Structure 1
Amino acid sequence: MSLSSIVGSLKSRLLLRSTLVSGLLVFTWGTGALAAETPAPSAKPAPTQASLEEAVAKLRKVGKSTTATQLLAAVDKAKAERQKLGRGRVVVGHLSLQGGTGRLDPLTSQVSLVSDGWFVTLAEDLRRPIALRLHGYEAVDIPLTGLPDLEVLHVGDIPLSPVSPMKIGVVHGRVVAADPKARIQVYAFIVPGEPNSLTGKVSGDRPAARLEVKREKDGSFQLGGLSPPPARYELWFKAPGHAPQSRVFNSLPGGRKNLGEIRLEKPTRLRVRYIVSSTPPPFQNATVRQAVVQLGQSFKADPAMQGVTFSYEQRPHGERLRFPQQPARLAALGKGKPEDYSSVNPSTLKLAAVFEAGFEPGQLYLLEHHAAGQWVLFVLEPDTGDAK
């Protein structure tokens, strides 16, 4: 066998595979070549064995009337939400763990667990799947393409399989604080997959889903049992009186990922001077507002808005602004005051899509925050305690 053939064979053994099993898109890291796999004839889920009504009747027959009642109540709630919003599809199914020592409580997904593994969710459309992520288990996406266009869809039983020992990943590193006496907390959670919900937001950071990470006296930490990609993890490092930091990463299947050293610093403060409007500039009779944001905190241009305008974070490459509410576009203007640029013409600017960006103190920025229905003209300056 030639050297190129050997290299090609090795590459094929390390490919990420997405396999359609019983109608589910199951992601695995395998040892076989991707070309050797026989794809499913279509991306349609396998026909369900029973309708929702039949499933409820079966639950009552085996003495699980409480579960049946809770399931129907959850479906009715989702149907009412669908009617209120005027769109969406109610999806119902049942999750079962195919071994392992895990529980369903830490599941990160848009689905709402009811009881005994049953779930309900309101999906935005049938073109995108519903993602399921559970620590220590293979990532699964439930495809909805090809399902009938009904108000309530029953997708049947959804098996979740534990990751084989050879594919489990480990992450490690070291975290220290500016104050050596500070008590540092380290925890992680598996990041939810891409949502197919009308709210467009799913949080993985909740108590039931948190994975506590042990930290040694020298600051070193390690977390094992990680699910392989496309599952992602987010690690948080916190200490009283310090700005928190986080890291989002993919594990190395069967390997160890080193995050290096994370240093928690005392928080710094920035003063935000800004103009906010529901319409693009020029801003007529604009009022310049101001607020103070601390490292590790979030800023809202309008206190009544849902979500935040941006968060001020310490990242490995310095202090950054993160815009979690998407879509958002940003353009740098110049030095000065917000009043100096209140009549700027957006059509002359290069507004670029942004999720996270660095910034320069004293530099004016124009944010088109489509997700919040706002335009924000702002400048960030070190807070010296002078409120003028």
Structure 2
Amino acid sequence: MSSKNHPIILFLDRNGFSIFQDTLSNVARFNFTPDIVANLDVVNKEQFGRLIATFIQINKIVPSSLSLVLSDNIIYEKDMVDIVEKQTPPVQTVSLEAPGNIDKEHKEEIQAFLEDVPFEEVLAKVIKTDKLNRIAAVNKDLVMTIADVFVNKGSTIEAVIPSFMYGTNINFAAGLTQNNIQIILEGSEVLRTGNLLTNQQRITSPQGLEIEQKEKEKKPQNLSLYILIGVFVTLVIILAVVYLNMGASQTHPASKKIKSAVDNSVAIPTTAPSVQIQASAIPTDLKVIRVKIVQSTQASEIFNSLSQQLQAIGFQDIKSSVSETSPAEKSSVVFSKNVPADAREKAFIEIKKVLPSISISENQDFDQTITVLIGRT
């Protein structure tokens, strides 16, 4: 059940997203890997969704209202300074399809801008701030894939907000800082006016407008075509009836010959060539993934259990090392940047069986290494 008492702030940038919730000890981070998100395009939507769901479960994020803030480096925007109306409120959103707000010339300018946004579907809106109109657009598939996972886990989406809505009050270069979080939590008016999800209209690209016009022109032609087809079918039926009536008296001698030929015929078996379809998906070879387990001197039994679980699913390069320092309070698993998503998922499932409360993170190393740090709990 969703709880309004623990609001979630999600800050989305090119490399991943950060999560704040007052139930977390610190800001949680989810980094994209090239096999799930590349250049802001979702490569593997199903795998991406599973990893986000696992991330929510590991960090024990409580279902609540979610505000999704978009970094400037993932937003496509354009200012149209000549669309100025007198006595406008300080902040106002404008529907892209409202004829009273934007004239034909500026609609064409908006459509030309959206055509240059390199995604199949976008969330887009014209947001009026002070004395200018700004078009903001973002990849809808990326944003909604993330949002849908949180919704499926019980949260509700409060708003999707471009970070420029907060003006110079917030510097998002450092991500979610305490100052940024406080301003976002107190900025309910910004969440209302800058929300890309409110009054979201279907935006037709110039190609779409051309197709729509052609469809309208085709309607009379299609009606005439249906009439011609009906007349043709009727004529064929009439000709068939006439032909059958004319030849009915001549079919009796022939039918006897046909029956005799059928009785003397020999059935010839035929075989159809079989087609075999082989799956083209090649799973990651777990033998090449290195597993390093860092333990204390008292955790040898846990190492043996982890080693057996991982070897059972195909991991072979498993090494153990004894930590020279006092172990951390909580166990954790760290994935190198280039460990594929399917290998992460398989490893995490087995590690979770031995260390149920383990946390997950990622480093920026380019090798393929999974490091398990065995803590006191």
> Normalising by structure 2, what TM-score?
0.21
Which is bigger in relative contact order (C-alpha 8 A, separation at least 6)? 2
Give the number of the structure whose alpha-carbon radius of gyration is greater: 2
**Structure (1 or 2) with the greater strand fraction:** 1
**Structure (1 or 2) with the greater helix fraction:** 2
> Normalising by structure 1, what TM-score?
0.20
